[in-house]
Amino acid sequence: MSARTITVKENILGANKEKAEINRKLLTDHHILMINLMSSPGSGKTSLIMRAINRFKDKYRIAVIEGDIASSIDADKIRHQNVPAVQINAGGGCHLDAMMIKKALDSMDLDRIDLIFLENIGNLVCTADFDLGAHKNVVLLSVPEGDDKPRKYPVVFLDADVILINKVDVSPYFDFNLDAFPEMISSLNPSAEIFPVSAKTGEGMDRWFSWIEETLK
C-alpha cells in the first residue's frame, strides 16, 4: 500500500469519525441508545432484532436503521412489527458511513425513540473501519460460519462490546468449538462479552436481553 493510499484512507476515516461523534452526541442528547450490529450475510441479525422487538416493544420505544446493498426486505419485516425502520441502500458499497446514518437520524422523530438497532451491511471487513456514532458495537457470528473468523477478520472483533454466537441449536452438526472460543476472543478483546444464542429457539436470549436493559439504564 502506497503512502498516498494510506493518507487518503486516513483522511476519509478521520472525516467519518468527526461525523460519527456528531451522531453520537445527537443520540445522547435525546437519551437514545444506538446499538450497531455487524456480521456476515445470513448470520441472523434481523431475526435477533425481531426477537428483541418482541421482548421490549411494550417497554421501550424502538426504531431500526437497516443497511443493505439493495432492497428493503429486512426493513419491511421490521415495519410489519409496527416499528419504524429506515432503509439505507449503499448501492454496491460494502459499508455504511456516518453521513448515511446522520441522514437516517434526521428523518426520524428522535423525541419518540429510546433504542435504535442499526443493522449494518453484511460484511466482516469494511464495516469494522467506519464509526457510525453508535454507543455499542455488537458482532454476530453464526455457528455454521466456523469458529476461525476472529483469526481471519480480527479487526471487527477488536472493538466489539458483545459477541453473539448465533444458531447454537445446530451446534451438533458443525465443528464450532464453543468451549475454546472465549479464550480465542480473550487474546483479541478481553473485555468483550460472549453470549451463545439461538434466534430460532430462543436459547440464551435472556442474557442478550439483560445486557440491553443494563445498557439502557
The average pLDDT across 118-147 equals 95
Does residue 11 have a pLDDT over 90? no
Q: Is residue 17 part of a domain?
A: yes
Residue 178 lies inside a defined structural domain of this protein = no
Residues facing 88 on adjacent strands: 67
Banded pLDDT at 9 (limits 50, 70, 90): low
Q: Where are the alpha helices (DSSP H) in 36-97?
A: 45-56, 73-79
Task: Give the three cell numbers for residue 187.
Answer: 487474546
What gap in Å lies between CA 194 and CA 68, rounded to an integer? 26
Convert 180-210 into a string of H (helix), E (strand) and C (coil): CHHHHHHHHCCCCEEEECCCCCCCCHHHHHH
pLDDT of 1 reads: 46
Please state, as a whole number, how many other Cβ atoms lie within 10 Å of the Cβ of residue 197: 24
pLDDT tens digits for range 43-59: 999 999 999 999 999 99
> With 80 as the cut, is the pLDDT of residue 176 above it?
yes
Cβ neighbourhood burial of 106 (10 Å; 0-12, 13-18, 19+): exposed
Domain that holds residue 45: 3-139+204-216
Q: What is the CATH number of the domain that holds 212?
A: 3.40.50.300
pTM score, two decimals? 0.93
Count of structural domains, the chain:
1
C-alpha dihedral sign at 59, 193, 142, 176: negative
Using alpha carbons, select from 162, 191, 197 the residue that is nearest to residue 178: 197
Distance CA 69, CA 54 (A): 26
Residue 81 is assigned to a structural domain of this protein: yes
The reply to whether 193 falls in a domain is no
Alpha-helical regions (H) of 33-163? 45-56, 73-79, 98-106, 149-152, 154-158
Q: What is the pLDDT of residue 95?
A: 86
- Please indicate, yes or no, if residue 162 is contained in any of the structural domains: no
